[in-house]
Structures are given as structure tokens and as C-alpha cells.
Amino acid sequence: MTSKLKTVAGRLRAVWMLLLVGIVLSVASPVFLTPTNLLNVALATSVAALLAAGQTYVIILAEIDLSVGSALGFSAVVTAMTLGTYGLVPALAAGLATGAAIGLVNGLLVTRTRMPSFIATLATMSVFAGLTLHLTSGNPIPVTDYDFQGIGQARFAGVPVPVWIMLVAFGIFGYVLARTRFGRYVYATGDNVEAARLSGIRVHRVKILAFVISGVLASLAGFIITARLSTAQPTAGAGLELDAIAAVIIGGTSLAGGRGTLLGTLVGALVLGVIDNGMNLLDVSPFLQDVVKGLVILLAVFLDRNVDLLRRLVPRRTESPVRTPELAQHI
């Protein structure tokens, strides 16, 4: 049991990073550990965490999705436009369908045209960002539906609804990744795509579905940010793809594919959220927040790529040989 716990702790190095940052901030600011502030951290983290959850599926496959920010903004605008005409349920369905369609486009580009995912999603990021600005003429779309606003502003059992949405989404998609056949296919394809294909796995279908999941979770994040602001901002998702990728990397998912967990991604998103919150509490210049994020990412990647080197640097206690009766007689 002890060795198993050590293995889990080693895979979730982000947990130790989160604990370290939390201890430092709790000493530096008495406000940090208050329930109100901790809920604010979880609320502020919810959008980036949802984007990172979908990104985890894609990165485990040794791919990347740069379009999640644009997918968030485009699906949010489609949701807001549908909401004003057809009501809540059709608007939610339209938003989710939009996110899924964007993911499908990305998946088809990567699998059928054999484009590198970096190039394909970079292109769709630009396309959907431009379409969003074209549909809105660069102006935000107001949202006045009370029920929709509750997605981002209401509370349940004292906890903001976006936090519940984040936890439920991580629970569902974490189970899919860890406990289902599709999840095993994702790991197998990311670890060795050719071996997965030879073993009968439809790797193209797995990759397409992973991009669709990424798009759906981006649209879900769009619901939250639109409901919180009561407007659909055309540029709402700009730059969030970088936070999502950072959370995935900090959470221990390998960019080479085949390894990663949604629990680690959630912890990675919380690390970034805690750092942002702590620097605001300490009145640190907001321009330095990106510097700190960059350093944290470098540290996470360094630990991931150099774990064997670090183990060699730590001296190990050698066990004395056990003396058998025969050996004792010779001595």
C-alpha cells in the first residue's frame, strides 16, 4: 500500500506544488484561507479548468488544440443569439452543438488531411475568432434571461453553480478516461499510434471523438463566462487556450502522449488559480502574473523530463546484508 501511495504521489507532483503555494500564501495573507476567498479561487478556475479537461484528452493523444478559446467565444455568441429568439433549452443545445461541430472539424482536419494538429487548430482558431467578430460586428451581445444567468451567478448549497458544473464535468469525463474502453483506447493511441492501429483500435475515430469532447467542454465553459458577465463577449476566450495547456502540463500530462489524468489537470488549474489569487491579494503587479505562470510551467516540465536525474541526486540508504548462520561461522 505504501509503494502504491508513493507512485500516486509521484504522478501527481502538482499536488505538492499546490500545497507549497497554498502554505506560502496562507502565511503571507490571512485572507487566503477564508472560505469566501477559496470559493472565489474555485469560481475563477472553473472556466480554464473545463477547457483544460478537454485539452487533456487531446494532449494524451500527443496532439494539441489551440482553438478552444475561439470555440468558447463562437459557441457563446451562437448561444446568446439563439437565446434571445428561441429560449433557454434550444440555446443550450445550439451552444453544445456548435462546440461539438468545431471539435469535429478539428478532428477531421487532423485525421483525414493528415495536418499537424498545431497547424490545423491554429487555423481554425483564426477562422472562428474572425467569424465571431463578423457575426457580432465586434459588439457584445446582452443576455437578460434570468435562468441562463443562474448558470454563472447562482449558488447551490452555498457553492457557486460554475464550481458544481466543473466538478460534475471532471467526474464524468474523468470516469470515461480512466474506467471505460474509450479511455483505454485514448491512452493506447497516445502511447503508440501504430501499435494501437495494428491491435484493431480505430485511431482516427478516437482522435476525432477527443477533439469533439474538447469542443463540447469549451462550449460549456462559454456558458459559464457568458452567464457571469450577462453578455456574450466576442473576445471572451482569447488567450484562454494558453491557460488550459498550462494547467494540463502542470498537472503531469505528457506532451509526448500516453500519460495523464484529469485529476492532475484539475490540480494544475487550481495551481494557476491560486497563484493568480495570491498575487492579487499581495497586490503584485498583474504584469508579473504571466512571468510567474511561465516559471511554474518551466518547473513542471523540468520535473517531468528530469525525474530520473533528480532520483539519482537523492542519496539512497543502502541496506546491510543479512547474515546467514553459515556466513556467520566463516566470519
> How large a percentage of the chain has pLDDT more than 70?
88
Per-residue model confidence (pLDDT) at position 256: 87
Q: How far apart are CA 95 and CA 142, in angstroms?
A: 16
Q: DSSP assignment of 117-168, as one string?
A: HHHHHHHHHHHHHHHHHHHHTT-PEE---HHHHHHHH-EETTEEHHHHHHHH
pLDDT tens per residue across span 116-135: 999 999 999 999 999 999 99
Q: Which stretch of 16-25, 74-83, 108-117 has the lowest confidence by average pLDDT? A: 16-25
Contact call for residues 227 and 29 (beta carbons, < 8 A): no
Q: How many C-beta atoms lie closer than 10 Å to residue 235's C-beta?
A: 15
Contact call for residues 273 and 42 (beta carbons, < 8 A): yes
Per-residue model confidence (pLDDT) at position 170: 96
Per-residue model confidence (pLDDT) at position 6: 44
Per-residue model confidence (pLDDT) at position 8: 52
Range of 19-28, 29-38, 50-59 with top mean pLDDT: 50-59
Please check the confidence at residue 318 and state whether its pLDDT lies above 80: no
| pLDDT band (50, 70, 90) for residue 142 | very high
User: Which residues pair with residue 142 across a beta bridge?
Assistant: 231
Query: Which residues touch 72 (CB under 8 Å, ≥6 apart)?
Result: 47, 51, 218, 219, 221, 222, 225, 236, 237, 240
Q: How far is CA 313 from the centre of its chain?
A: 32
Please check the confidence at residue 329 and state whether its pLDDT lies above 60: no
